[in-house]
Structures are given as C-alpha cells and as structure tokens.
Amino acid sequence: MILLCSVAVCLTAATNAADLSGQWRAEFASPRGVQKYLFTFQTEGEKLTGKAVAEVGERKREAELREGTVKGDTLSFVELLDFQGSEMRIRYTGKISQKEIAFTREVGDFGKTEFKATRGAAAANSGTAPAPAAGAGSQPRRSGGGFGGPIALNPDDKPAFDDPPSGIDKSREGIPHGKLEMIEYESKTVGTTRKMQVYTPPGYSKDKKYPVLYLLHGIGGDETEWQRFAHPEILLDNLLADGKAVPMIIVMPNGRAQKVDRASAGMAAAGAFATFERDLLDDVIPAIQSRYSTLTNRENRALAGLSMGGGQTLNFGLGHLDTFAWVGGFSSAPNTKRPAELVPDPAAAAKQLKLLWISCGNKDGLIRISQGMHVYLKEKQVPHVWHVDGNGHDATHWRNNLWLFSQRLFK
C-alpha cells in the first residue's frame, strides 16, 4: 500500500516510526551519474520493508529492501544490486527529521555518499516537488567508480592479441598434469588461519626452484573462485604441454583479509580487500616461500587478478615494484587507485616492470578504469600491454587473459 504524505504525517515522522510509510524520493550525484531514487517504505513496529526504484540516465531498476529496521530516529536497510552476476550490498542508514531523511549510502567501504530524501512521489510525477537536496556532502568520496556505466571506446581500445583457441582450460589426456592443493597458513595480518590454493606444475621437484604467480579473485569470490571462471591448473598444464609457458607455481589466496572471509560475509568488504596488501606481503608470500621450492627475487614473482583482484593487483603490484616485476590487471574494478598515485615515477616503473598487462572487455561497464590507466601509461611512456577484447565483465575475458598473460611470464 502506498500512503501519500500529508503535512501532518510528515511532521510526526520524527517521533513515530510507523509514519515513515509511503514514498520518499532523492536525487544525488554518484560516479555513475545522477541517481534518482524513489523509495516506498512500509513499517511495522521496528521492521521496515519496501522497495527502491532507481534511475540513472535511461536505466531503471527495482529492488526489494532487505534487513530494514527503524529505531527511534534512525532507519537502515540494504538494497541488493545484481552487478553483472555478482550481488552487491548497498547499505543505507538514515536519520529522520521533520521533513527529510538524511541518508548515508555505502557500497562496502567505498563510495560513501550522503543525500537527503524528501516525501513524495518521483520528481517527474510531481511538478510542485521541491528541488532535491544534493548539496554539500552529496558528492561521492571517490572519483571514478560505480557499477559500470556508459562505455565510450577510443581508437586505442582494441585487441593486442588474437583470441585464444577454444578449450584452453579443458583437461587433456596423455599430457602431464600438475597438482592443485588447498593449504592453510597463519595470517598475522588477520589473526586467523586462512586458506589458499596452490598449483604446482607437472614434475614439481624440491631440486628445482620455481617462479610464482599470485592470482587474485573478484569481489564475490574466494580462494576457489578462479575455478569457476577458468581452471588455471588445467590451463597451465596445457600451455606447458605445448611448450608455451615456463613451469611456475600459481597461488590463489583469499583477497578478503578479514576474520570471516567467506564471500557470503558481504560482497563489498572493501576495507578487507585493501587490508589484503599486508596479508599478501607479510603472510601469504612468506608462507609460500617457506613451504615450496621457489625463486624469491622480484623477477620471479608475478601478480595478476580479475576485477576487484585486478584493482588489488595494480595497487599492490605497482605499489611494490621491489616485490613484483610482472603485473596483470584484468577488468580492474573501481578499487584501483588513480594512475598518477600508482605510477608516480614513470621512468622508474618503466625500468623495473618486466610486463604490465592492462586488459578489459569492450562490453565491460568498468572499462573506464582500465582506459584511465592506459591513457596515463601511454602519456608517461610506460611500456604496457593494452588488450581490449570483445567480452564483458565475464569469465571469457578472465580465462583468455590468464592464458595470454601467463605464457609471457618469466621469459
């Protein structure tokens, strides 16, 4: 049921939770453009239910509100957003005053936006509605970001390589196979025992030493996520059988560095994805180097990842060129720091990097992140691969780029 607001109802909103029922609208600037929201709330005691209809440009979506509560003058709820197959949680907290609700909208720890909602139907339906409050404090903290957006392609945005043949990660008979194992390590950073998967190539022997690729997952994944999109272990077996890659160890850790690190703990645990920098450097790498027969100089250490893990890769890889000489960001997400922050000394980076790989699909709404990197790197003359293929934010892009990237490592 939709209740339209009368002045009397609006005025009691501050003191009586039930009176939140009805429609509230808001308009605010976000990295994706101006967002227009129409919330419809129903309350029952401290419980709040309802829906959100959001419009950005031409696009409109509707979501049921979850986990809604009203306590005193504070309400909170979650909007679940399907982001290209991954579920993102947008958390809203609002302070109710007489005429408005002052909301904070958080996507994980990213993109905290503040805006005000006022009573009434959508602006389009209501000629007399006051202008939405989108003043100070309504600007998102980040520049660039959001869940995809309009795609504008530039002349450089084309494939650097042909697409791989099909079947690159299908298991073949009659070739040697490596081993994939799940191991545990003590994380001082997180204060827990954590899991990671480790691939050792066929014929792995303590008598040899191997280079290592650290391979990071996306926002909805964990240490097993790469197996959903590609089978890095089979892909490497195949490349090795064809003489196309150097035998290497591949480590797939969990990039969500928090005590409860399952994907279900919340997709947008952005702070935990940033904390992983320390877990990777101080806990994961030492654990691998103590348990496996590894080459431990920077020229024998690579970092790559998809989406959220692509952003982590660029942040941690370019941020620690003393540790990584090979860096690959596939469809990097808005957690990627700004190019000038990542590469403050282009000449030094150009000298140290053996390979910097930036890739994105030309149907991926996050492409502007990678485009920004490419434009900066090109301007600053930092050699890199800029590979834009015909995919979206999807498994084909990640599988193909792992294949193209991994066969160029450690050579």
Site residues, ligand FER (CB under 6 A)? 83, 86, 107, 110, 145-147, 218-219, 270, 307-308, 333-335
Q: Is the dihedral of CA 157, 161, 166, 171 positive or negative?
A: negative
Report the distance separating Cα 31 and Cα 142, nearest Å.
Answer: 8
DSSP for residue 402: H
Collapse the DSSP code of 226 into the 3-class scheme (helix H, G, I; strand E, B; otherwise coil) and give the result: helix
Q: How far is the CB of 214 from ligand FER (least distance, A)?
A: 17
Estimate the share of the chain in helix, then strand, then coil, as percent rounded to the nearest 5. Answer: 25, 35, 40
Helix residue ranges per DSSP H, 259-366: 270-278, 285-291, 308-319, 339-342, 346-352
Indicate the residue among 368 and 374 with the shorter CB distance to ligand FER: 368
CB 146 to ligand FER: min, Å: 5
Nearer to ligand FER, 25 or 217 (CB): 217
* Minimum separation from the CB atom of position 88 to ligand FER (A): 7
Q: What CA–CA distance (Å, rounded) separates 96 from 15?
A: 9
Tell me the closest approach of the beta carbon of residue 32 to ligand FER, in angstroms.
Answer: 9
- Please, what is the minimum distance in Å from the beta carbon of residue 268 to ligand FER? 7
Minimum CB–partner distance for residue 267 and ligand FER (Å): 8
Query: What's the Rg (C-alpha) of the chain?
Result: 24
3-state DSSP assignment of residue 351: helix
CA neighbor of 93 nearest in space, from 118, 120, 73: 73
**328 vs 334 by CB, closer to ligand FER:** 334
Q: Name the burial class of residue 264, with classes exposed (0-12), middle (13-18) and buried (19+) by CB atoms within 10 angstroms of its CB.
A: exposed
User: Shortest Cβ distance from residue 80 to ligand FER (Å)?
Assistant: 14
C-beta closer to ligand FER: residue 94 or 221: 221
Coil, strand or helix: which one is 246?
coil
Distance of alpha carbon 336 from alpha carbon 312, whole angstroms: 7
Shortest distance, CB of residue 312 to ligand FER, whole angstroms? 10
Residue whose CB is less far from ligand FER, 141 or 179: 141
Answer for the pair 26, 129: CB distance below 8 angstroms, yes or no.
no
In the block, tokens 């294949």 appear at 403
Question: Smaller CB distance to ligand FER: residue 120 or 145?
Answer: 145
Question: What is the enclosing helix (H) or strand (E) of 357?
Answer: strand 355-361
Distance, in Å, from the CA atom of 158 to the CA atom of 387, rounded to the nearest integer, reads 6
d(CA 129, CA 134): 14
To ligand FER, the closest distance from the beta carbon of 343 in angstroms equals: 20
The least CB distance from residue 314 to ligand FER, in Å, is 13
Cα 127 to the center of its chain, rounded Å: 39
Indicate the residue among 5 and 342 with the shorter CB distance to ligand FER: 342
> 71 exposed, middle or buried (CB, 10 Å; 0-12, 13-18, 19+)?
exposed
